[in-house]
Amino acid sequence: MIVGTSQGMIPASMSSRYRQGYAVVDVETSGLSPASHRVLQVAISQIAPDGSSERTWSTLLDPGCNPGPVHIHGLTRERLAGSPQYADVAAEVADLVDGRILVAHNAQFDWNFLAAEANRGNAPLTVDSRLCTMALTRRLDLPLPNLKLESVAAYWGVPQLAAHDAVDDTRVLVEVLRHSLVAADRLGLALPLTPCDGPPPVVYPAAPARPPCRWVYAGRWTPSTPLVQGMKVVFTGETRIPRETLTARAAAAGLDVMSSASSRTSVVVCPDPGYRTRKLEAARSHGTPVVSEEEFLRLLAQVAPGTDKSAASSRATISRCPTPADTVSQVPSPQEGVPSLVAPSRVASPHVAPPSAAPVRRGPLTGHRVLVLGGPHTDAAALRTRVGLAGGQAAANFTSSVTDIVALDGADADPRWHRGRAVGLQFLVPETLLPVPSPAQAAGATGLGEAESWPAEGALGTARAGIAAAVPEPVVLPRGGVVDLPSGDSWSLGVCWADGAATYPDDVAEVDVVAFVTDDGEEVGGDDDFVFFNAPTHRSGAVALELDLPGEVLVTIRPEALPAATRRVIVAATVADGKAFGDIGPIELTLRDDDGATLARATLDAATEEQSLIIATLYQRGDRWRFRAVGQGYASGLASLAVRHGVDIDED
């Protein structure tokens, strides 16, 4: 079968490089927790290694619970009524995904929900690995405003007809997968596959959705005053009255019942203040009042009127407030002597006010991403520093954003050198960082064979170029550089290193990325403020590590959830197996907002013999959060690094 995309024919080399079949999946759910929420709709499309479609299947499901965010997925109780339960279709789902790579946009979410449903139905799924199209898009480094499915689809020219409908989302994902695989094959990339192993997920009965609150948030509760409609209430511990009854009574009185405590929680209800729960720990860290069940029942009898959201919305006016420009400063480093930088203006996500324009440091390589290949680490690192001084950014991996290659001695032993020649990238002279004279460059280009028809020129190429042009250049931080961050619910720091598994599969050093939640003195409050491979999520949920992507770790930071006394997150990396960072090469950092829009980048490779490296720090200064690219190395390993930040390491 001949398979094509909107950009031309799919080259035969794709199915030779990626030989596995795929099961493209999308689920719509009643909430965000696979342990207690349920799948309401599932769609699966089987795709062969050559990109051709095989079998497509979908169904609605009625698990008998509250469908949750109907305003997002449109799946009402009435629409789901009469649909099968997951147990009725478990065998069908298992057959469709059996032995294939499961593909989804944010694949961890879809896999966790399907695995939880399979566990409930005692019908395990035989899937060895999954492929996240968000991770693949990051690996390709496409010029996108964010990582949402609609943005990725628009870049590849795939129309969305019904967002958050599993059937249409799967159709879109099939096309996104085809385009992405062709692009990955063109660059010779290994796919970022994640194993689907581990014990079956713990599951609970489906919980009812949180009752909606019609009243505007009324702030914190002050003791000796009445509760006010719109105040946020959290229950914890074993209450005398069933939790469901308390929740219903609180909601009926106009209170907003939450499932977790944060800095916006008005009051926490606990029958015994001696309990040790996460909610109580969070409440105490934020200074949130805690009352007994009896006290809450007395307060519930006299709740003061609040402000109706609909009335407040009708009175609201739109105003434009001035926003200070994001600034970048640098802590000078003896190796660099780089002057201070100022961040460029950027088109922010809708919930972030764009900063005003500011000048940026320019040079002959501004807008270029340069890959340095070959040579000893010290020579390559010095070249990457020169690239930064010339206004460019050094790249750790070969991606679609790489514009130039600098080849040092031995570069031709690296497969990326040959791929760079094949796709016709510009090569730079190491001594001058000027383009290689055109006759030599022309002689180096070998042509792409079947891949020459991809991507196609014309309307789609013009549209994609328009998308790329609208994406602002991110802030590029030198070692020690600092940038103020726009407000947001969370940030994601991607930590990547050279894709050794694809380049030199027999000589891959293991990199461990860890985080410390500390005070301003960079000391942890307790051992559980150390976030690492055996404890990848902080007790508050404010910091989490995603560790199952080859050559990449994602560090998610949710600032609102951080305990009040620990408003600093230090991200570090260590190298195992007797290696040092000189064996790893550059570490590339990409900081994104909660939509996936790129806020800042940095490339760090000053470390040579060091075994541990402070990568970055996110910290609060006044009412603003800042991000610093650090790059401070130490000769000792992970244990010494942890002790340095106050972690008590068991030496037994």
Q: Are strands 53-60 and 193-195 parallel, antiparallel or unpaired?
A: unpaired
- How far does CA 364 lie from the centroid of its chain? 32
More confident residue, 353 or 174: 174
Rounded CA separation 140/132 (Å): 12
- pLDDT per residue over 256-265, tens digit each? 888 778 778 8
Rounded CA separation 285/517 (Å): 14
Q: What is the mean pLDDT of residues 383-410?
A: 91
- pLDDT per residue over 344-358, tens digit each? 333 333 333 333 333
Whole-Å CA distances, 69 to 108, 234, 358, 511, 612 = 20, 21, 40, 39, 44
Q: Are strands 491-497 and 552-557 parallel, antiparallel or unpaired?
A: antiparallel
More confident residue, 485 or 338: 485
- pLDDT per residue over 454-466, tens digit each? 344 455 566 677 7
Rounded CA separation 290/348 (Å): 38
Rounded CA separation 158/179 (Å): 10
Q: What is the mean pLDDT of residues 575-604?
A: 89
Confidence of residue 212 (pLDDT cuts 50, 70, 90): low
pLDDT at 228 over 60: yes
The pLDDT of residue 554 is 95
User: What is the SS3 assignment for 151?
Assistant: helix
Quick one: CA dihedral 154, 156, 161, 165, positive or negative? negative
Instruction: Please tell me the number of Cα atoms within 13 Å of 195 on its side-chain side.
Output: 6
Quick one: CA dihedral 531, 533, 534, 540, positive or negative? positive
Q: Are 200 and 110 in contact (CB under 8 A)?
A: no
pLDDT at 343 over 90: no
pLDDT at 210 over 70: no
- Specify the range with the lowest mean pLDDT, choosing from 160-169, 170-179, 271-280, 540-549: 271-280
Confidence of residue 217 (pLDDT cuts 50, 70, 90): confident
Specify which of 109-118, 209-218, 458-467 reaches the highest per-range mean pLDDT.
109-118
Contacts of 570 (CB under 8 A, 6+ apart): 515, 516, 518, 522, 614, 616, 617, 645
Exposed, middle or buried, 324 (CB in 10 Å: 0-12/13-18/19+)?
exposed
In the block, tokens 């203040």 appear at 273
The pLDDT of residue 649 is 65
Confidence of residue 389 (pLDDT cuts 50, 70, 90): confident
The pLDDT of residue 423 is 85
Rounded CA separation 367/472 (Å): 10
The pLDDT of residue 360 is 44
- Specify the range with the lowest mean pLDDT, choosing from 150-154, 255-259, 351-355, 559-563: 351-355
Q: What is the mean pLDDT of residues 243-248?
A: 83
The pLDDT of residue 341 is 29
The pLDDT of residue 531 is 95
- Specify the range with the lowest mean pLDDT, choosing from 14-23, 456-465, 549-558: 456-465
Question: What is the chain's mean pLDDT, rounded?
Answer: 82
- How far does CA 485 lie from the centroid of its chain? 17
pLDDT at 37 over 90: yes
Q: Which domains does the chain have, with CATH numbers?
A: 4-195 (3.30.420.10), 232-307 (3.40.50.10190), 369-469 (3.40.50.10190), 474-644 (2.60.60.30)
148: which 2 tokens? 């949402």
pLDDT at 144 over 70: yes
In 94-159, DSSP assigns E strands to 101-104, 129-132
The pLDDT of residue 493 is 97
More confident residue, 352 or 203: 203
Rounded CA separation 317/445 (Å): 59
The pLDDT of residue 402 is 92
Confidence of residue 19 (pLDDT cuts 50, 70, 90): very high
- pLDDT per residue over 254-308, tens digit each? 998 887 787 788 999 998 877 777 788 888 888 899 999 999 999 999 999 999 8
Query: How are strands ordered across the β-sheet holding 328-330?
Result: 328-330, 481-485, 624-634, 612-621, 568-575, 511-518, 530-531
pLDDT at 336 over 60: no
Contacts of 489 (CB under 8 A, 6+ apart): 558, 560, 594
The pLDDT of residue 45 is 98
pLDDT at 22 over 50: yes
- pLDDT per residue over 485-535, tens digit each? 988 779 999 999 886 544 444 455 679 999 999 998 898 888 889 999 989
The pLDDT of residue 346 is 31
What b/e string do you get for 371-394 counting C-beta neighbours within 10 Å, with b at 16 or more? bbbbbebeebbbbbbbbbbbbbbb
